[in-house]
């Protein structure tokens, strides 16, 4: 049994009778067992996955028509609810909690006959950029286990990177799909805010959170998006727009009008070697017949402060529900009044990073500081939305780095949270504006680690986003093939 390069190649073999869903599940279960040191999975649904695979195989033998994701092996981030399965947001405060319902995205995957193989590790309550904040230990980057995989969806990224599942779900509040995709050398999509229902997604910052998708290629990501996107009666923020054909691809003879943010490319925090690679890549695009133009964006240094003020404020509100009364961790200490009971339960249950963000959020919402911080951050968000909309109205897409550096060493930035937050400078932009963005692999650094390019388009223009991304990947694949031929 070997791994298939795409969902379509797997389905071709599946319906030709040269493989089965059961074969697939067994193959991935073996790989997951061998990769336990990466700590990507918190729980593996071995028995359930095998039973579901056997049922799908029986339906195929009976000549039944299966769903569009038949037998596709999917990993699920531990912030997305799956009925009858544990969901903890990688936090001690929810340790052992079993979900009473499934997220809409999960229900749609199951209806499409996908197989969910397990629950994936992440930063606690999706707060982090390294997956070092999980209550269940850090996830390791499969390319170099001394380095972080990125976060907060580190487990979801590594599961795809290491071939432990075909695709996976993550969540993206400020880059938590795109940044780990970059660090792990795979594809990571954050759709338009509202494109995928948030029903069943444990909230961090409700006006920023969006379920995202990891894969090895654009076609697989598009196939999953096709299934899980769309309106949802359970989520008032889910968009009512009709779901287009995300799997349609225009001819690659098309010339794109592209922009890059001049301030992003010349930002002092961007790795020098990466800056050179982006400049070279833009020149290659122009040589291929596309226009690539520098665009001014004066607000880059304000996006991270605005993002952290707004998201921590929303987190302070969202996480107030975890009080040890209704569910979650409850302190064992006796004879406490109600206020002390709340404090003790929450102090024991939440990790350091979550506490830091709750404190910051509570502060910026407090009397005397609300206008100085929260209101100002909302004003910055409005400016960002308007300016980005202005740029995107004139171009097919914006290109920019996903992150300012390649994956760093485990523990390298844990003592400096501000430096960690600033690493989100290129990704939070899309979340502030609610626009779709994707990270695709671009090059390898001289340190051996991959890094990607981020592509941003207008709201609800995922068809164009995926088309540009697919063209970029095809172009880069051709370039690599030429390099390999020259080495022969």
Q: Look at residue 356 and give its three-state secondary structure.
A: helix
Alpha-carbon distances, residue 311 vs 30, 135, 304, 305 (angstroms): 39, 21, 10, 10
Beta-carbon count within 10 A of 481 CB = 10
Distance CA 424, CA 173 (A): 11
Distance CA 190, CA 221 (A): 10
Reply yes or no on whether 176 is catalytic.
yes
Q: Are 99 and 87 in contact (CB under 8 A)?
A: yes
Reply yes or no on whether 254 is catalytic.
no
Q: How far apart are the first and last CA of the chain?
A: 30
Beta-carbon count within 10 A of 485 CB = 8
Q: Look at residue 288 and give its three-state secondary structure.
A: coil
| Catalytic hit among 77, 129, 190, 345 | 77
Angle CA 287–291–293, to nearest 5? 120
Those residues whose C-beta lies under 8 Å from the C-beta of residue 234, and which sit 6 or more positions away, are 104, 197, 199
Distance CA 89, CA 414 (A): 20
Alpha-carbon distances, residue 71 vs 13, 26, 57, 227, 347 (angstroms): 12, 12, 9, 14, 42
| Catalytic hit among 99, 129, 176, 467 | 176
Reply yes or no on whether 317 is catalytic.
no
| Catalytic hit among 88, 129, 134, 152 | 152
Q: Give the burial class of 448: count Cβ atoms within 10 A of its Cβ; 0-12 exposed, 13-18 middle, 19 or more buried.
A: exposed
Q: Return the active site residues.
A: 77, 152, 176
């Amino acid at each position: 049994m070997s791994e298939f390069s795409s969902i379509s190649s797997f389905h071709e073999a599946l319906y030709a009778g040269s493989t089965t869903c059961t074969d697939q599940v067994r193959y991935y279960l073996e790989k997951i067992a061998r990769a336990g040191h990466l700590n990507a999975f918190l729980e593996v649904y071995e028995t359930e996955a095998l039973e579901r695979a056997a049922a799908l195989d029986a339906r195929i033998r009976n000549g039944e028509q299966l769903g569009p994701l038949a037998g596709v092996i999917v990993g699920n981030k531990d912030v997305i609810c799956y009925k009858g399965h544990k969901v903890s947001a990688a936090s001690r405060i929810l340790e052992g909690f079993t979900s009473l319902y499934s997220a809409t995205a999960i229900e749609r995957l199951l209806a499409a006959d996908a197989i969910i193989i397990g629950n994936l590790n992440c930063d606690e309550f999706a707060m982090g950029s390294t997956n070092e904040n999980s209550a269940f230990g850090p996830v390791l980057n499969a390319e170099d286990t001394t380095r972080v995989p990125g976060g907060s969806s580190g487990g979801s990224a590594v599961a795809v990177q290491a071939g432990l599942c075909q695709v996976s779900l993550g969540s993206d509040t400020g880059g938590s799909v795109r940044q780990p995709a970059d660090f792990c050398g795979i594809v990571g999509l954050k759709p338009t805010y509202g494109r995928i229902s948030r029903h069943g997604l444990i909230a961090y910052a409700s006006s920023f959170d969006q379920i995202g998708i990891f894969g090895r290629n654009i076609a697989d990501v598009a196939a999953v998006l096709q299934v899980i996107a769309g309106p949802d009666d359970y989520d008032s923020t889910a968009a009512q727009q009709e779901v287009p054909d995300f799997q349609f691809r225009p001819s690659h003879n098309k010339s794109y009008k592209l922009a890059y943010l001049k301030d992003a490319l010349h930002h002092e925090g961007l790795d020098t070697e990466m800056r050179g690679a982006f400049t070279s890549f833009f020149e290659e695009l122009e040589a291929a017949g596309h226009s690539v133009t520098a665009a001014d964006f004066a607000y880059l240094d304000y996006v991270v402060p605005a993002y952290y003020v707004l998201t921590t404020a929303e987190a302070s509100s969202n996480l107030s529900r975890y009080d040890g009364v209704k569910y979650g961790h409850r302190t064992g200490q006796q004879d406490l009044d109600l206020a002390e009971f709340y404090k003790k339960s929450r102090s024991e249950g939440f990790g350091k990073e979550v506490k830091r963000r709750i404190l910051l959020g509570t502060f910026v919402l407090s009397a005397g500081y609300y206008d100085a911080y929260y209101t100002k951050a909302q004003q910055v968000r409005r400016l960002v939305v308007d300016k980005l909309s202005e740029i995107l109205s004139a171009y097919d897409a914006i290109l920019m780095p996903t992150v300012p550096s390649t994956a760093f060493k485990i523990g390298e930035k844990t003592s400096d949270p501000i430096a960690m937050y600033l690493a989100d400078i290129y990704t939070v932009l899309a979340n502030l504006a609610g626009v779709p963005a994707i990270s695709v692999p671009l090059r390898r650094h001289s340190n051996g680690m991959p890094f990607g390019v981020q592509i941003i388009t207008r709201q609800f223009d995922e068809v164009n986003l995926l088309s540009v991304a697919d063209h970029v990947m095809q172009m880069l694949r051709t370039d690599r093939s030429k390099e390999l031929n020259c080495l022969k």
